[in-house]
Chain A
């Protein structure tokens, strides 16, 4: 009987229509014959005001290939995306992981050694990790508006244990944002086992813990808090790019926690030779020159022309040796849980 077949014809037609409509999702990009290197990164890196455009131009000229950037909206999201895609990921290189999470990332088994010589790196401490290659670094600091806050705290202890009425802060959530994670590690480093008490003391003055750095910074610029967790170079940004000098980084006597950003090569890379060339490119002056005023971080090699004017006005802050990655890998979940408990009102 033909009673049910019209029904199925109709279904089939609809699915055909469905596939047709979803065609844009299946469409492959125009192919100009050049090999493509797929690099996963976070989206502010390749935005028009970031280092991406300059870097792309420089590398594509060198390698006679096309750089295929895939931008995820945050650094922590990068790792999550790679884990989600697993062995089926099409990434060749990932750019923008936080070195604090290196040990955890290594456990995923997705990466293969970068093979670069790290002896010539100009970092505060020698770099020995064979899997992850640093490409920039920076120091966390609390930024404040000197017109609004005339006497900023001079140490982390002073900020955290200020009495009620002390400065309000906007911070980031350590689970989704690397500055947030950085603050977590910073407080742990300075206060040790006293960290939960420190958080509890700070908690009433935390306006909110945003999901990303830019959200927090935007709120700060909009006047919603006295201080915001950011990088020392943010002050440089305002000085150089905007010509204003009332946004300053508050120097803390205990030292500032350092964040190093790293890149890594995927084991399942479809273009392993291109990936190797890219990793080498990361340590070259053409790439590193784009870092200070593109990504507002410090370069990992000594630049031939030195740092841009304006960057040097900040004396490099007293650096705090960071936790080693293995400790972070072991303790991060517990420390985050502590933070959650201490700040949940």
Chain B
């Protein structure tokens, strides 16, 4: 039925070609970059005993901090998600929005907030000293890394787990109420199955994010005892120009991270896809409750507030000084903002286009050619870039292209390209479900009406996919706006983005500059998101 000559097959060929091109392009870029670096410095030079032991030690620490961060984030997120699910209180929507904000904040902004709160002269130490004690310098090192990672990922996890809990059919809650299931039984029978379905994928994602985390480890690692592969690669490329070592570490990172994620997602069970709930989705307040549950929830909410609010407040307060307008207008901050936008917007657009191409090809393979395995592989190519260090990509490509292009212009173009690659998996993940659902539901209708390609996209897909598309574009731009790392490889006083500006200001201990720039960056991200929501229109119920 579905073969090369079937009408259905022909419909999807345009998208298929584009998607294949994108996937091949990604693999090609990665391989090319790694190859260029390996070729530049002989691979055998780098492989002496000292290096291997060093790499093994760093890889071990990277694994360790990623695993700890993931575990902590998930453990803290579960009570928070349950509390948000169980209780309706004024401001609940605001709290949920705040969770989203925490996740998309630029890493460098969060670092500033955390240093202000937990640094040697921070708020916590100030309070402790007033009470006669002294926390000392507890921030730099594993503690600081964990604090920052939990700040980012616990809200993400709580949000995703809340979604999972919301997906439980209302009938099950009512059943639990009727059967007088206590708190523990309620958790075991109703909540846990829903959570457990979401956890493996979530753990995998958080693990990758913490494994490849850069700005946090760079700023809060505090020295060689707490270095990850990503930071080591950056140091090797920027200062030593040890290209062979960097390439080797990149390969180690891809292999390790890929293995861990594969292991995590394999343990997840894919049984029982959630059916549409017919009954009331809301959980009756009497189900599995009582005083212990109330106490748990209050504790969870208070704990989350204590963890998340101070750094956010620090960012706001540090930036909102009377000197703010003057700081904004001077010292190159606005130029940096302009450069940031000039990089972020094209990067976001590119990521969107590439992501859509991948999805179109994947859907074509899935629905038209009945090849779910190939479709899955195609979409995972997008994820490859999540684990591949962006510095290696940028440096390798630079090495390949430096003879044929002006080095001053090549830098910015590569920053845009690599940022787009980094945002690609995000686009696929956000737009994917809606796009596939629209495809499944309208496949036969479009076929019978003779709709394909752009017409099909405009009529059948766009209404469903518009909102996630706008959100994905906004998030991709935000991600690129807050990127610090790749731009450091090519930065100079003429090519400075806001995160680079912040990093330099912090490095020069001009904290007032840094704080003002951080506030500016955060506000811009918020505006981008708002714009994305606006462009997305109202939620469409197919």
Residues in B with CB closer than 8 Å to A200 are none
Closest A residue to B54 by CB, please name it: A337
With A25-B413, A70-B493 in contact, do A77 and B407 touch (Cβ < 8 Å)?
Answer: no
Residues of B participating in the A interface, judged by any CB pair closer than 8 Å: 11, 13-15, 17-18, 50, 54, 57, 119-121, 137, 140-141, 218, 222-225, 235, 237-241, 338-339, 342, 345-346, 349-350, 353, 395, 398-399, 402-403, 406-409, 412-413, 416, 452-454, 488-489, 491-495, 504, 506-509, 511
CA–CA, A287 to B57, complex, Å? 47
Residues in B with CB closer than 8 Å to A43 are 493, 504
CB distance from A325 to the nearest CB of B (A): 16
CB-contact partner of A344 in B57, B241, B338, B408, under 8 A: B57
Contact mask for chain A residues 52-81; partner B; CB cutoff 8 A; 1 contact, 0 none: 000000000000000001111110110110
| Interface status of A147 (Cβ within 8 A of chain B) | no
Stretch at the interface among A217-225, A255-263, A298-306, A308-316: A217-225
Residues in A with CB closer than 8 Å to B350 are 18
| Interface status of A85 (Cβ within 8 A of chain B) | yes
| Interface status of A106 (Cβ within 8 A of chain B) | no
- A–B Cβ pairs within 8 angstroms, 8 of them: A22-B412, A70-B493, A76-B238, A85-B402, A90-B406, A224-B120, A333-B50, A340-B224
| Interface status of A206 (Cβ within 8 A of chain B) | yes
With A70-B493, A175-B240, A209-B222 in contact, do A215 and B453 touch (Cβ < 8 Å)?
Answer: no
Stretch at the interface among A7-15, A187-195, A289-297: A7-15
A70 close to B492 (CB less than 8 A): yes
Residues in A with CB closer than 8 Å to B452 are 3
The 6 A-B pairs with the shortest beta carbon distances in the complex, nearest first, are: A218-B509, A25-B412, A4-B14, A83-B241, A209-B223, A344-B225
CB distance from B159 to the nearest CB of A (A): 32
Residues in A with CB closer than 8 Å to B18 are 7, 11
Sorting the interface of chain A by its residue count into under 10, 10 to 19, 20 to 34 or 35 or more gives 35 or more
How many A-B Cβ pairs are below 8 Å? 150
CA–CA, A80 to B237, complex, Å? 7
Name the residue among B223, B413, B488, B491 with the largest chain A CB count within 10 angstroms. Answer: B223
CA–CA, A206 to B141, complex, Å? 12
Residues in A with CB closer than 8 Å to B342 are 21-22, 24-25
| Interface status of A87 (Cβ within 8 A of chain B) | yes
Residues in B with CB closer than 8 Å to A73 are 488, 491, 504, 507
Q: A22-B342, A207-B140, A215-B509 are in contact. List 5 more A-B contacts (CB 8 A).
A: A21-B342, A22-B416, A77-B239, A176-B235, A345-B141
B349 close to A17 (CB less than 8 A): yes
Interface of A is mostly: helix
Residues in B with CB closer than 8 Å to A212 are 507
Interface of B is mostly: helix
| Interface status of A6 (Cβ within 8 A of chain B) | yes
Residues in B with CB closer than 8 Å to A90 are 406-408
Residues in B with CB closer than 8 Å to A253 are none
CA–CA, A218 to B119, complex, Å? 13
Residues of A participating in the B interface, judged by any CB pair closer than 8 Å: 3-4, 6-7, 10-11, 14, 17-18, 21-22, 24-26, 43-44, 46, 69-74, 76-77, 79-80, 83-90, 173, 175-176, 206-209, 211-212, 214-215, 217-219, 221-224, 333-334, 337, 339-340, 343-345
Residues in A with CB closer than 8 Å to B223 are 173, 206, 208-209, 343-344
CB-contact partner of B413 in A22, A88, A206, A345, under 8 A: A22
Closest A residue to B342 by CB, please name it: A24
B353 close to A14 (CB less than 8 A): yes
With A7-B454, A21-B345 in contact, do A70 and B14 touch (Cβ < 8 Å)?
Answer: no
Name the residue among B119, B120, B239, B342 with the largest chain A CB count within 10 angstroms. Answer: B239
Residues in A with CB closer than 8 Å to B237 are 80, 84
Residues in B with CB closer than 8 Å to A80 are 237-241
With A4-B453, A89-B407 in contact, do A72 and B137 touch (Cβ < 8 Å)?
Answer: no
CB distance from A15 to the nearest CB of B (A): 9
Closest B residue to A7 by CB, please name it: B14
A218 close to B508 (CB less than 8 A): yes
Residues in A with CB closer than 8 Å to B402 are 84-86, 88
Residues in B with CB closer than 8 Å to A21 are 342, 345-346
A24 close to B453 (CB less than 8 A): no
CB distance from A40 to the nearest CB of B (A): 9
B403 close to A88 (CB less than 8 A): yes
CA–CA, A85 to B507, complex, Å? 25
Name the residue among B454, B489, B508 with the largest chain A CB count within 10 angstroms. Answer: B508
CB distance from A219 to the nearest CB of B (A): 7
Residues in B with CB closer than 8 Å to A17 are 349
CA–CA, A14 to B352, complex, Å? 11
Closest A residue to B352 by CB, please name it: A14
B416 close to A24 (CB less than 8 A): no
A211 close to B507 (CB less than 8 A): yes
CA–CA, A46 to B353, complex, Å? 41
